[in-house]
Protein backbone atom coordinates (compact mmCIF):
# COMPACT_ATOMS: atom_id res chain seq x y z
CA UNK A 1 0.00 0.00 0.00
CA UNK A 2 1.27 3.45 -0.87
CA UNK A 3 1.58 5.67 2.23
CA UNK A 4 2.77 8.84 0.53
CA UNK A 5 4.09 10.23 -2.73
CA UNK A 6 5.26 13.79 -3.30
CA UNK A 7 7.53 15.90 -5.44
CA UNK A 8 10.20 17.57 -3.37
CA UNK A 9 13.67 19.05 -3.40
CA UNK A 10 15.35 22.45 -3.35
CA UNK A 11 17.35 22.36 -6.57
CA UNK A 12 16.17 19.14 -8.25
CA UNK A 13 12.49 18.31 -7.82
CA UNK A 14 12.11 14.53 -7.56
CA UNK A 15 9.23 12.21 -6.73
CA UNK A 16 9.71 10.47 -3.39
CA UNK A 17 7.40 8.01 -1.73
CA UNK A 18 6.83 5.45 0.95
CA UNK A 19 4.88 2.22 0.93
CA UNK A 20 3.84 -0.29 3.57
CA UNK A 21 5.14 -3.83 3.00
CA UNK A 22 2.86 -6.43 4.50
CA UNK A 23 4.18 -9.49 6.26
CA UNK A 24 2.55 -12.86 5.62
CA UNK A 25 2.23 -15.63 8.21
CA UNK A 26 1.77 -19.34 7.53
CA UNK A 27 -2.04 -19.19 7.47
CA UNK A 28 -1.91 -16.65 4.62
CA UNK A 29 -3.12 -13.68 6.66
CA UNK A 30 -1.34 -10.34 6.51
CA UNK A 31 0.26 -9.01 9.69
CA UNK A 32 2.12 -5.85 10.57
CA UNK A 33 3.94 -3.76 8.05
CA UNK A 34 7.40 -2.44 7.39
CA UNK A 35 7.81 0.74 5.40
CA UNK A 36 9.97 1.17 2.32
CA UNK A 37 11.17 4.46 0.87
CA UNK A 38 11.48 4.84 -2.92
CA UNK A 39 12.05 7.38 -5.67
CA UNK A 40 11.03 7.78 -9.29
CA UNK A 41 14.20 8.20 -11.34
CA UNK A 42 14.20 11.74 -12.76
CA UNK A 43 16.69 10.65 -15.39
CA UNK A 44 14.29 7.96 -16.68
CA UNK A 45 17.17 6.16 -18.33
CA UNK A 46 15.29 2.84 -18.47
CA UNK A 47 12.38 4.18 -20.52
CA UNK A 48 9.99 4.84 -17.64
CA UNK A 49 7.51 7.70 -17.86
CA UNK A 50 8.05 9.73 -14.69
CA UNK A 51 4.71 11.57 -14.72
CA UNK A 52 2.73 8.41 -15.55
CA UNK A 53 4.36 6.50 -12.68
CA UNK A 54 3.63 9.38 -10.29
CA UNK A 55 -0.01 9.45 -11.44
CA UNK A 56 -0.40 5.68 -10.91
CA UNK A 57 1.12 5.92 -7.44
CA UNK A 58 -1.14 8.88 -6.54
CA UNK A 59 -4.19 6.94 -7.76
CA UNK A 60 -3.21 3.95 -5.60
CA UNK A 61 -2.70 6.26 -2.63
CA UNK A 62 -6.08 7.97 -3.06
CA UNK A 63 -8.02 4.74 -3.69
CA UNK A 64 -6.22 2.59 -1.12
CA UNK A 65 -5.41 0.03 -3.81
CA UNK A 66 -2.61 -2.43 -3.13
CA UNK A 67 0.09 -2.32 -5.80
CA UNK A 68 3.02 -4.35 -7.01
CA UNK A 69 6.05 -2.32 -8.05
CA UNK A 70 9.12 -3.21 -10.04
CA UNK A 71 12.25 -1.27 -9.22
CA UNK A 72 15.99 -1.15 -9.70
CA UNK A 73 18.52 -0.48 -6.98
CA UNK A 74 21.30 1.92 -7.85
CA UNK A 75 24.61 1.78 -6.03
CA UNK A 76 23.93 5.11 -4.36
CA UNK A 77 21.34 7.89 -4.58
CA UNK A 78 22.00 10.88 -6.83
CA UNK A 79 20.32 14.11 -5.71
CA UNK A 80 19.32 14.98 -9.28
CA UNK A 81 17.66 11.57 -9.79
CA UNK A 82 16.00 10.87 -6.41
CA UNK A 83 16.61 10.81 -2.67
CA UNK A 84 16.83 7.01 -2.42
CA UNK A 85 18.73 4.41 -4.42
CA UNK A 86 15.48 2.50 -5.16
CA UNK A 87 13.97 3.67 -8.45
CA UNK A 88 10.44 2.56 -9.40
CA UNK A 89 10.14 1.17 -12.94
CA UNK A 90 6.48 0.09 -13.06
CA UNK A 91 3.32 0.01 -10.94
CA UNK A 92 0.48 -2.51 -11.22
CA UNK A 93 -2.61 -2.90 -9.04
CA UNK A 94 -2.74 -6.19 -7.12
CA UNK A 95 -5.65 -8.31 -8.26
CA UNK A 96 -7.58 -10.53 -5.91
CA UNK A 97 -8.01 -10.35 -2.16
CA UNK A 98 -7.80 -6.80 -0.77
Full pLDDT tens readout for the chain, 98 residues: 999 999 998 888 999 999 998 776 656 666 666 899 999 988 887 888 999 999 999 999 999 999 999 999 988 877 888 899 999 999 999 986 54
Q: What b-and-e string marks burial along 54-92, b requiring 16 or more CB atoms within 10 Å of the CB?
A: bebbeebbeeeebbebebeeeeeebeebbbbbbbbeebe
Q: Name the pTM for this structure.
A: 0.82
Amino acid sequence: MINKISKKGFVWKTYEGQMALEGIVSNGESVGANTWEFSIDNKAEHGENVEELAAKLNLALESGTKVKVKYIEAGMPWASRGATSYYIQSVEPVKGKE
